[in-house]
Amino acid sequence: MSRVFITGSADGLGLMVARLLVKQGHNVVLHARHEQRAKETQTKLAGAEAIVTGDLSAIAQTMQLAEKLNDLGEFDAIIHNAAVGYRESKKLETPDGLPHLFAINSLAPYILTCLVHPPKRLIYLSSSVHTSGDDTLKDLTWNERRWSGYNAYSDSKLHDTILAFAIARKWKNVYSNAVDPGWVATKMGGPGAPDSLDEAPKTQVWLATSNDPKALVSGKYFYHQQERKAHPAASDEQIQDQFLHQCEKLSGIKLPAFS
């Protein structure tokens, strides 16, 4: 039995992963943006151990979420699932002055990784469109570029893959991997998404809990439990360090050493 925390698990793919984990007998801690969402989520999955709240678009609330998680104790796995999609038609800004999409999709996973006690396994949700992301890492906050929701989303999924691979390199005692769940018909994916909704949560559950030797790896990119090639930038140590440095500069939080 494993103890797993999933960000963005009040609905959609995160909730699907949680249901599958509970069905298999694992302990699951859910995450919702605020208390009202948490109350609604309780009716959707009564078997969860707990639900913690925090708005991942705000640095302060993300830090507070990390404190709540540490108060709950150690986790075997953390699945960084929370994200907003490419349909943001303009650059919405957070109270910290950051693009809403970047804050949730890219910076929040970094902050939580830095501040939550390291689990045995980390899973970061990526996407096939990460291959279209900007690997120069210039203008992460879109101060100079003309806003594009699709490009910002692609960038963020590349960021998540870079982060997964950077953690795999730096934290040798943690299995850290990225997952493309497919383009599926969730609220974010839209009704016309072509991939299998049934298959979409299975790789996250497998990486979080399985003792299959194929799951006990690190620094890999998966699609439907099969390794796929990621953008070459994700494996570039200089790019990894550049991304970590920029996240540290934006958040004021340094990735701790851990072995």
* Cβ–Cβ under 8 Å, residues 38 and 8: no
Distance CA 13, CA 15 (A): 5
Helix (H) or strand (E) segment spanning residue 109: helix 108-115
Identify whether 86 is a catalytic site residue: no
Identify whether 153 is a catalytic site residue: yes
Of 86, 124, 153, 223, the active-site residue reads 153
Residue 121's SS3 state is strand
Residue 26's SS3 state is coil
DSSP label at 223? E
Q: How far is CA 192 from CA 48, 82, 179, 187, 188, in A?
A: 30, 21, 21, 11, 11
Of 91, 110, 157, 221, the active-site residue reads 157
CA dihedral 231, 235, 239, 240 (to 10 degrees): 120
Is the dihedral angle over the CA atoms 44, 183, 125, 179 positive or is it negative?
Answer: positive
| Catalytic annotation, residues | 153, 157
